[in-house]
Amino acid sequence: MLFAARWSSALAVYSGVSFAQTSCGFVGKNDAYADLKAHCELTKTYNQAKDGNVGLCGEPDWKAAETTFVIAIALGSNPAEAAQQARAGILTQFEEVKTRFISDWKSAQATLKSLNVPEGSAHEMYRISTAVLQTHESKRFPGGFIASLSLLWGFARGDEDTGAYHVLWPRDLCETAMGLMPCGDMDAGRRALFFLACTQKANGSWSQNMWLDGTEHWGAVQMDGIAMPILLADQLRRAGELNGYDAWPMIRNAAQFLVRMGPGTGEDRWRLSRVTRPSQWPARSRPCWQRQTSQMQTALWEKPIFYARLLTPGTTP
């Protein structure tokens, strides 16, 4: 069995047939992938690699397999738990697991709207896209959508790069939820809104990005990430899908932060500098104009200074 562990997370890889060869090395240095790429075969194997970005490799004993075999990859809070889960996966009938897996995905997809088009590329693209969005939601705290399962420029990243798109960005979280809502999953919007309410800072803002428990990862201020939750709440309100949830306290605090700190942003989405750009205005200014039709309004929205502060950089109320 192969293991990898860091802090309170562990991974185990278990094969239904024994491994003929195994190796554990540092990625790009002495891992099996680098060895195979250079020699087309394993020339060296290692039993362990400590404190680094590691890669695991196992070669199943093909000759011992009758026709097919199963490999289980499992996670746990420690190696023993991960190993137990991996072994349980191997001992469970594969067809049973496969049937349950397909059934659960069909149930999830059944909650979404149908395109009412013949089976084909458009239909498949829609189903695949919604499934990809669904896979980015936390199972431990529903509504916590990470930005991406991928890692930007992954092959160039070292072991110190623990966040990036693997954490939760308020902007991307809202965009994911608002992508699922038109497909029929309005509850995704409610789950995301509740998660945001649980992670909002006392000053009305959100971290540039954060871990699932709300702990800040990067500390820059990106105003569109603070405005987007207001737009998410308004979309739910317009659709009549708030289901009695009072989002006003969160909206009020976020709007007050925008008034105090805008219209410039501490860090632009791409240029990573403090600027006021037209590309940033739609997300940051639209929440102000929602007062014309929104039922979630108080005297705060009626004050002219609310608009003057947003429209006049460098002024103070």
pLDDT in tens, 132-183: 999 999 999 999 999 998 877 666 666 666 667 889 999 999 999 999 999 9
CB within 8 Å of 275: residues ≥ 6 apart = 264, 265, 268
Query: Secondary structure of 157-202 in the HEC alphabet?
Result: CCCCCCCHHHCECHHHHHHHHHHHHHHCCHHHHHHHHHHHHHHCCC
Q: Name residues of the chain where pLDDT drops below 50.
A: 271, 278-279, 281-282, 289-317
Q: Is 50 left (phi over 0), alpha (psi -120 to 50) or beta?
A: beta
**CATH class entry, domain 136-311:** mainly alpha
What is the reported pLDDT for 297? 46
The domain ranges of the chain are 2-107, 136-311
What is the reported pLDDT for 111? 87
Query: For residue 273, what are the CA distances in angstroms to 218, 220, 226, 276?
Result: 14, 10, 17, 10
pTM across the whole model: 0.77
Residue tagged 């976020």 (tokens): 254
CATH topology (fold) of 2-107: Beta-galactosidase; Chain A, domain 5 (2.70.98)
Beta carbons of 1 and 14 less than 8 angstroms apart: yes
